[in-house]
Structure 1
Amino acid sequence: MDEARLRFILARGMLRTVLARYAETPPQALNFTYGTRGKPALLNHPLQFNLAHSGDLLLLALTSGHELGVDVEQIRPLPHLATMAQDNFSPVEVKALYLLPEDQREIAFLKIWTRKEAFIKATGDGFKRPLASFDVSIDEPAQLLRAEGEDIQQWTLYHLALETGYVGALCINNGSLRIMSQQFRKLSS
């Protein structure tokens, strides 16, 4: 079995186990439904969840009664950073990115990317919402600055302090947050 397939199976098994614990039901009794854009949810249960993974890190966020999204990216060289920024970021974000010294741009790019992806996962829009149609902060604190068709006051972005080599973000609507972390080592064989 290839490593990507094994990670997928392990991640889904862990997701089902953790959700069952919080939903107080056996893992095999969990039923899922999917939003119009494919966002999974538990059927007839207020528990909300979102899952992301990159490299060897899996990130799972849970809450009750609030929409949320999470993203993680492994820090890595981005040889096409300029093109990806122009194609996916708003003019405000591209300008902010290029005001930084070159050696800070890859991490800044990934901060913007994870914040954007956390937001589109939280709204359930996924990549149907153009990434350039909203702005996020490049600096701390993480913030949603502008979003077409959204009341940005109802959304809160968080920068996640993850292990070295990773950047992450979480977005939640109308909720305060208590972040708990549980580390599981290596999702690969």
Structure 2
Amino acid sequence: MKSVQVSWARSADAHEGLPALLDPVERARYEATVDPATRNRFLVGCALSRRILGELLGVPPEEVPLRRACPTCGGPHGKPRLAVPAGYDFSVTHSGDVVGVAVCRGAEVGLDVEEAGTALDVDAAARTALSPRESAALYALPPAERKPAFLRVWTRKEAVLKALGVGLRAPLRELEVSAPAASPTVLAWPDLLGDHPGTTLTDLTVDGVHPAAVAVTTGVRTPS
């Protein structure tokens, strides 16, 4: 597996000096966000990623060249990427107060975290996101264990989709991962995404309670 640098912060780390690090697209989104908690998460995520990438590239954080392009509409709200061929990919995630950034060189990377205390209707979420085999594994567990088990599976799926840059547009039930207690791996790919044999998954836990996952993909084999 390629080496991945993962860094964590808190939305409470936001301060008045950070907006100066944002580019015009980021600043416009930041200023247009009304909810203070969402504003702070976005600000900290942008600032943390810029500081890490700036150190790697040897430039000030505010000068890190980024681009965003939605693969569907071309708008400036897709997965952020470096606008220069430096060989680094990165992924930003946040849930509740937790903000994370993963950076990898020579491969695509996706990072996801879910706050353990988040309100969740496990039954409804499972119907939307889990394959029949994943659902069977979930409901074989005692009721008290189902929420953390679902969040573990969810972080794996979202990390993979973020590494591929497709987000939640992909059919979640067709992207199948291993059972929560098993070593993390992708078992089945949606036809829409093709097959990505070079993908690896790693489970993480933040502060001992919040499930997270990082995915790295180095190759693609599209369907014939």
Whether the TM-score (by the shorter chain) exceeds 0.5 is yes
Task: Please name the residue that 1:6 is paired with.
Answer: 40
The SS at the match of 1:153 is coil
Alignment: residue pair count: 175
Q: How far apart, CA to CA, are the structure 1 residues paired with 2:80 and 2:40? A: 21
> Could you tell me whether the CA contact under 8 Å between 1:16 and 1:27 is conserved in 2?
yes
Q: Deviations over 1:23-64 (max 9, x none)?
A: 211222221123425111001221110011112221111111
2:52 to 6, 13, 18: 18
2:214 counterpart of 1:170: yes
1:43 to 52, 77, 83: 83
> Could you tell me whether the CA contact under 8 Å between 1:120 and 1:127 is conserved in 2?
yes
Task: Please name the residue that 1:133 is paired with.
Answer: 174
Q: How far apart, CA to CA, are the structure 1 residues paired with 2:147 and 2:48? A: 31
What is the CA distance between 1:152 and its match in structure 2?
4.3
- Comparing 117-126 and 34-43, the one that deviates more: 34-43
The SS at the match of 1:76 is coil
- Comparing 137-146 and 115-124, the one that deviates more: 137-146
The SS at the match of 1:62 is strand
Q: Deviations over 1:90-139 (max 9, x none)?
A: 11111111011111101000001100100100111111111112101122
Task: Please name the residue that 1:185 is paired with.
Answer: none
2:184 to 142, 148, 151: 142
Tell me the percent identity. Answer: 33
> Could you tell me whether the CA contact under 8 Å between 2:45 and 2:101 is conserved in 1?
no
> Could you tell me whether the CA contact under 8 Å between 2:112 and 2:158 is conserved in 1?
yes
Task: Please name the residue that 2:154 is paired with.
Answer: 113
After superposing on structure 2, the runs of 4+ consecutive aligned residues of structure 1 that deviate more than 4 Å are none
Task: Please name the residue that 1:34 is paired with.
Answer: 68
Task: Please name the residue that 2:30 is paired with.
Answer: none
> Could you tell me whether the CA contact under 8 Å between 1:155 and 1:173 is conserved in 2?
yes
2:120 counterpart of 1:86: no
Gap regions ≥5 residues in structure 1: 176-189
Q: How far apart, CA to CA, are the structure 1 residues paired with 2:104 and 2:155? A: 19
TM-score, with structure 2 as normaliser: 0.73
Q: How far apart, CA to CA, are the structure 2 residues paired with 1:96 and 1:25? A: 48
> Could you tell me whether the CA contact under 8 Å between 1:15 and 1:60 is conserved in 2?
yes
What is the CA distance between 1:79 and its match in structure 2?
4.7
What is the CA distance between 1:20 and its match in structure 2?
0.5
- Comparing 3-12 and 153-162, the one that deviates more: 3-12
2:144 counterpart of 1:103: yes
